């Protein structure tokens, strides 16, 4: 088992190098492990770039570690003869680059096997290649709710189940719309209520609100505002909406405007980890 896992560690290291080597390319970069049953994986190996055609920097904690965790889990299952005897699990793992449109483009690889089991390759003599692709049984992912909404909508058309490890958007709870989607984390409306209770416990009665544009941030903040209103907590003016495409100057301008409001005791945020990091970095710099 140690030898097999060591081999997987090497494969993972090579995979990260491959996924990282051309961060600005739109070509499909993937990790593929053979097996009797193939599970898809969708992870944010890269952060979003400054424009829609680029991937950004490597996300070691949110992307690479989760990919390694999936590979390790498959290895543990494959090495246990009592779990799936005579069956080996394989994987096809793709990089979402933390961008909805890029993730959707990459995820077309998952449905190619449904539409055709052949890669369309030809031999030097003109004959068709005999290699047959295996269909994807299910997809593990995605990280962000926005990515999961788009990819789950497409996979549902081909009846491919999707299981997310961190997508908390309220929209994804609509079963008629996302019949083949499941997750292992609670939805944002429950988190929003907990956040409102925490704000009340801190005796903050007037706060700033910052949310990502899109279903995750906006729907999550709507849930918080509803819970906060019931508890007598006020939000300063309109909700400040931020985008992954924002520049550092835009974050600086937002924080300067927020500082001019002396009534607010704190800031409540429904943003992804990239925007949170940039927000705090800008705040520290001011």
What would you measure as the largest C-alpha separation in the chain, in angstroms? 77
Q: Are 30 and 109 a contacting pair, CB within 8 Å?
A: yes
Identical fold, 2-183 and 188-285: yes
Nearest CA-CA partner of 154 in 74, 40, 52 = 40
The alpha-helical segments, DSSP class H, found in the chain are 2-21, 65-79, 100-115, 145-157, 188-201, 215-230, 248-259, 273-285
Residue 12: its pLDDT value, please?
47
pLDDT in tens, the chain (286 residues): 445 445 444 444 444 444 544 444 456 678 999 999 999 999 999 988 877 667 889 999 889 999 999 999 999 999 999 999 999 999 999 999 999 999 999 999 999 877 765 555 677 787 776 556 789 999 999 999 999 999 999 999 999 999 999 999 999 999 999 999 999 999 999 999 999 999 999 999 999 999 999 889 999 999 999 999 999 999 998 899 999 889 999 999 999 999 887 789 999 999 998 899 999 999 999 8
Q: Residue 252's closest CA among 274, 217, 279, 213?
A: 279
> Rounded to an integer, what distance in angstroms lies between the CA atom of residue 212 and that of residue 226?
17
This prediction's pTM: 0.80
pLDDT at 53: 63
Domain boundaries, the chain: 2-183, 188-285
Please tell me the predicted confidence (pLDDT) of residue 263.
82
Answer CATH for 188-285 from 1.10.1270.20, 3.40.50.2300, 1.20.120.420, 3.40.50.720? 3.40.50.2300
Q: How many residues does the chain have?
A: 286
CA trace torsion 70, 92, 214, 157 (10° rounding)? -120
Whether the Cβ atoms of residue 147 and residue 98 lie closer than 8 Å to each other:
yes
Rounded to 5°, angle at Cα 99 from 105 and 148? 80
Fold of 2-183: Rossmann fold (3.40.50)
Instruction: Name the strand (E) or helix (H) holding 48.
Output: strand 46-48
């Amino acid at each position: 088992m140690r030898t097999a896992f060591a081999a997987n560690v090497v494969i993972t290291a090579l995979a990260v190098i491959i996924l990282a080597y051309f961060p600005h390319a739109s070509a499909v970069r993937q990790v593929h492990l053979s097996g009797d049953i193939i599970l898809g994986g969708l992870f944010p190996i890269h952060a979003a770039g400054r424009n829609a055609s680029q991937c950004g920097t490597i996300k070691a904690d949110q992307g690479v570690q989760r990919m390694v965790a999936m590979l390790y889990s498959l290895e543990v299952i494959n090495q246990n003869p009592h779990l799936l005897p005579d069956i080996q699990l394989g994987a096809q793992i793709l990089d979402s680059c933390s961008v909805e449109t890029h993730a959707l483009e990459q995820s077309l690889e998952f449905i190619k096997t449904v539409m055709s089991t052949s890669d369309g390759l030809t031999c030097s003599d003109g004959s068709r290649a005999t290699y047959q692709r295996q269909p994807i049984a299910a997809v593990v992912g995605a990280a962000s709710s926005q990515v999961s909404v788009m990819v789950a909508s497409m996979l549902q058309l081909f009846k491919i189940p999707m299981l997310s490890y961190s997508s908390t958007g309220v929209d994804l709870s609509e079963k008629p719309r996302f019949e083949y989607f499941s997750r292992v984390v609670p939805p944002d409306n429950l988190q929003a209520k907990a956040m409102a209770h925490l704000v009340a416990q801190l005796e903050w009665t007037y706060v700033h609100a910052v949310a990502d544009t899109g279903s995750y941030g906006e729907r999550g903040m709507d849930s918080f505002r509803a819970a906060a209103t019931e508890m007598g907590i006020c939000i300063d003016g309109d909700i400040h909406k931020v985008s992954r495409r924002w520049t550092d100057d835009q974050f600086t301008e937002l924080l300067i405007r927020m500082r001019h409001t002396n009534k607010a005791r704190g800031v409540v945020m429904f943003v992804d980890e990239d925007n949170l990091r940039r927000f705090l970095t800008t705040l520290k710099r001011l």
